[in-house]
Chain A
């Protein structure tokens, strides 16, 4: 039975809470009537308010609290309704969670999972839309996970919760209503393995999270024009599945790296750099990347019309790399809803 990405997250949390009494789940609004977009709905009724609870607006302290609880045997899952709020806790994430195992000579690690939700469009604006996976992936000691499908949302969340390292688990708000088949039970997907979504020999497209959805539209549109691309959904930014990326580039000779974050210093830049430096001979043309522009996302819909990377940009980039014209007008025409929402299901206010 198909279920939503958001329901899959809730399913994963419930599965973890049932599987291990040391799992606790907290964050602002965790037990409120909306349950963080439905992802934590009524879990406190099922598992008790000692294990599923709301918190003060104290992101730094509650992150350190999670670290301390983890050091004393628990597996905390903390949730931020927006990634942007988690920036208040960067000290705890970087100086404590990421380094504890290293700076104390391997004595103990910090098995925490920090969920952060990334917004986009619909007026989310400068402080509700930041896709900062490159920040976290830059820190040795942190792991960074970005699921795209409902199945992966559950499997990778369980994989993250029962991983023995701190995991930053990034959920895109535009994926919450995506439907997909989700296996029942305690299905833990190991971190660090990418998923090959489509296979082809023309261009390797590397994507993550919601960018995979845009890429999928582009790849299927290109396929109808006789261009078959490899589409890789990274699923995990750190560790990053280099063997899968490298094998694909060796097959296609062309790399297009997509990034939901900004261009400068982003994950796409890292992928391009690694392939260009270590596998230059495999390349038939210069590697390319598409990412958010180096400006904050504005609030007004009038100012975001050309801000986001969409399927047509991906298709055009593939055409440029192959030196041929591709048709994109019909791709654009397929979108029957405004540019600043993921689909007709989304009408705000969040």
Chain B
């Protein structure tokens, strides 16, 4: 991996972490009046995907999509404004945290029903295949998605038609508070399950950003060259509660020991330490990155807070292409 890419990965992970932590810190102010699903601890996969995908590639995601949106190039200002319910938000206040979109960078939308955008992603890829555009479609998904019927239906059709789709699974072990042990039989690996559909699958450490980047680089190149869809599963961990800003280890669905063990594998300082050791960045470089990020976040929150709410009549627009209906 070249130093430039390494620095980008670190920058993007620091940025995503800081954005999520700032949302958590300010959530209690009651100005962000919508459910938010933070991905603190899971930054590596998003950052690596963002570095591998091109702006012209298209991506969709689910309810925990802040990191995917930012990594794909989505506007931070528009995202924070959307969470604040402002007219300057990326969906003009209609969507909130769970419905992010920035078509200018190929982020085609994230929605709140588990598995709901998986078939939309394979549909996005169909014109790419027919017109040989060289683009791919990336479907970000969590480990609960391979429990939905629509996931298997979609993977099957993507294989039938050899569509250029990257199914990118972040396995954080939990669906809300339900561990994988109540959702899949012991010993099953999602990547092995999906492999039965006849596509190349991969399983890896989702907290090692450079390993994720390397795997995705190879996989995306293969998809782009016409080899059909691939499924990538990376194991990682959600630090905070399913929905909201807090830590929730005290409610008993997971052990503190498990949480602490994953925290030791924090992907952000891990990459930072490695890059400093390898002399790819210095402490001063990291400080500069953090200062740039902090300034951008401050500006984005100020923008969101000072932006106007949509006018009340906007509640009735955007249902149909014209006013008929």
Contact = CB atoms under 8 A, between A and B. Distances in A.
A194 B4 CA distance: 63
A243 to B, nearest CB: 12
B121 interface: yes
Given A68-B120, A141-B320, A103 B91 contact: yes
For the side of the interface on A, what is the size category? 35 or more
A65 B154 contact: yes
Interface stretch (A55-63, A173-181, A226-234, A287-295): A55-63
A140 interface: yes
Nearest to B317: A106
Interface string B87-114: 0011111110001010100001101010
B120 A64 contact: yes
Given A95-B111, A103-B91, A69 B124 contact: yes
Contacts of A135: none
Interface string A38-74: 0000000000001000011010111111111111111
B160 interface: yes
Contacts of B154: 58, 61, 64-65
Contacts of A100: 109
B73 to A, nearest CB: 16
A56 B103 CA distance: 30
Nearest to B96: A103
B309 interface: no
Nearest to A24: B126
A74 B130 CA distance: 11
B136 to A, nearest CB: 12
A72 B99 contact: no
A72 B320 contact: no
Interface residues of B, number: 46
B318 A105 contact: yes
A101 B90 CA distance: 13
Contact of A106 (B99, B156, B160, B318): B318
A72 B325 contact: no
A104 B101 contact: yes
A47 B68 CA distance: 38
B123 interface: yes
A71 B108 contact: yes
A274 to B, nearest CB: 15
A4 interface: no
B324 A71 contact: no
A186 interface: no
B58 A72 contact: yes
A102 B119 contact: no
Nearest to B87: A105
Interface string A163-201: 111000000000000000000000000011000000000
A74 B126 CA distance: 9
Given A72-B126, A104-B94, A67 B119 contact: yes
Nearest to B148: A60
Contacts of B90: 104-105
A92 interface: yes
Interface in B109-147: 109, 111, 113, 116-128, 130, 137
Given A63-B119, A92-B119, A95-B116, A101 B153 contact: no
B319 A61 contact: no
A64 B60 CA distance: 12
Contacts of B108: 71
22 contacts: A55-B157, A58-B150, A58-B153, A61-B153, A62-B119, A64-B119, A65-B157, A68-B120, A68-B124, A69-B126, A91-B113, A101-B318, A101-B319, A102-B319, A104-B109, A106-B92, A107-B101, A109-B320, A143-B325, A164-B322, A165-B320, A165-B321
Given A61-B153, A64-B118, A102-B318, 15 more contacts: A56-B156, A61-B118, A61-B150, A62-B119, A62-B153, A63-B119, A64-B123, A65-B126, A69-B123, A71-B108, A71-B124, A72-B127, A164-B321, A192-B324, A192-B325
Interface of B: 58, 60, 89-95, 99, 101, 103, 108-109, 111, 113, 116-128, 130, 137, 149-150, 153-154, 156-157, 160, 317-322, 324-325
Interface of A: 24, 50, 55-56, 58, 60-74, 76, 91-92, 95-96, 100-109, 140-141, 143, 163-165, 191-192, 238-239
